[in-house]
Amino acid sequence: MPQPTELAHAGAASPLVESRRYHPWPAGHAHDHHQLLFGLDGATELEIDGHLYRVDRHHGLIVPAASHHEFLGLAGNLQVVADFPGASVALPARLMERPRAFVLDGALGTRVRALAALRPAGTRAAHLNWTVAATLASDLADALGASDGHGPATVFPVMAIDAYLRANLSSALHAGHLAERFGWSVRRFHTLFAEAFGDTPHRYQTRLRLDRSVQLLAGTGLPLVEVALASGYPDQTTFTRSFTRRFGQPPGAWRAAAGRFSPRRKPGPG
């Protein structure tokens, strides 16, 4: 199976997003990256820990890293497969801890079908993998956050916290602010956050901001200073420093290599 790629200019593993068909005979493996399957056509069946899951036009599946899974492609199967190394796009670690089926309907289903129609090539594909992956991660977080709700007061509200962070990228949300908002002591909140998200609040918010920035760089013609502000950075200099540290090249060079692409645009006729 294909593996997450590495951009030539960056040291960290990148996400890989592509359409795949699975063979109509049983196979199985495990891999060290999380995998998200979004059904497009036909169906694929997967067995994980004795449970049978079905990926089709109306259903997707989260396959956690290191989770051995048996799979079988049924007639006409086609799915968008996203291979996400643990420290690539921003999604809570707890969301990826165990297999989880989810429904592909409404905005999420429409977005997946639009992204599946893209065929970027060459170096542009490597850059746009990040854009597509960040878009899928954001949309999946929105969909699962809406279905999870806030839960009992005794349960750490992972998806509600994730949604709040995504909606407030322009604010420096320190652990103290978040702890007060969600009703925990600062020390306890910081511990629970690190366990649930796999990162500190500051580092996770930075990943969210950079996910937003790659979408804006490829999907809009906004000047870099406006991309910086829209991604939650106080100025272009701070943004450029953070972006370059993460991706190995400044945002202007990234935009030039990625070309123009709008993941938010609905597919046109034909």
Per-residue confidence (pLDDT) for residue 235, from 0 to 100: 95
CA–CA dist 31, 21 (Å, integer): 18
In the numeric block, the tokens 């750490």 are attached to: 156
pLDDT over threshold 80, residue 183: yes
List pLDDT tens digits, range 64-84. Answer: 999 999 999 999 999 999 999
Per-residue confidence (pLDDT) for residue 266, from 0 to 100: 39
Per-residue confidence (pLDDT) for residue 80, from 0 to 100: 93
pLDDT over threshold 80, residue 3: no
Of 218, 216, 248, give the one whose Cα is nearest residue 229.
216
Domain positions in the chain: 16-122, 148-258
Cα atoms in the 13 Å half-sphere on the side-chain side of 175: 17
pLDDT over threshold 80, residue 126: no
Geometric angle at alpha carbon 54, from 50 and 60, rounded to 5° = 115
DSSP H or E segment with residue 228: helix 224-230
> Helix, strand or coil for residue 22?
coil
Is the Cβ–Cβ distance between 174 and 186 less than 8 Å?
no
Give the DSSP per-residue string, 74-97.
PTT-EEEEEEE-TTSS---GGGGS
pLDDT over threshold 80, residue 124: no
**Distances in Å between the alpha carbon of 209 and those of 38, 205, 213, 221, 249?**
24, 6, 6, 18, 16
Going by DSSP bridges, is the β-strand pair 59-63/34-41 parallel, antiparallel, or unpaired? antiparallel
Confidence of residue 9 (pLDDT cuts 50, 70, 90): very low
Interval 209-217 mean pLDDT: 94
Is the Cβ–Cβ distance between 76 and 49 less than 8 Å?
no
**Distances in Å between the alpha carbon of 130 and those of 158, 192, 210?**
23, 28, 10
pLDDT over threshold 70, residue 261: no
Domains 16-122 and 148-258 share a fold: no
Q: Phi, psi (5° rounding) for residue 9?
A: -100, 0
For residue 70, what are the β-bridge partners?
28, 47
List pLDDT tens digits, range 99-122. Answer: 999 999 888 888 888 888 776 555
Is the Cβ–Cβ distance between 168 and 44 less than 8 Å?
no
Is the Cβ–Cβ distance between 93 and 207 less than 8 Å?
no
Domain 148-258, classified CATH 1.10.10.10, yes or no: no
CA–CA dist 159, 85 (Å, integer): 20
Per-residue confidence (pLDDT) for residue 87, from 0 to 100: 82
CA–CA dist 217, 223 (Å, integer): 9
Confidence of residue 270 (pLDDT cuts 50, 70, 90): very low
Q: Which CATH code for domain 16-122?
A: 2.60.120.810
Average pLDDT of the chain is: 86
Confidence of residue 154 (pLDDT cuts 50, 70, 90): low
CA–CA dist 238, 22 (Å, integer): 44
Both tokens of 64, joined, read 């956690």
Confidence of residue 174 (pLDDT cuts 50, 70, 90): confident
Lowest mean pLDDT among 13-17, 149-153, 169-173: 149-153
Confidence of residue 267 (pLDDT cuts 50, 70, 90): very low
Q: Phi, psi (5° rounding) for residue 175?
A: -55, -35
Interval 222-235 mean pLDDT: 95
* One-letter identity of residue 95: L
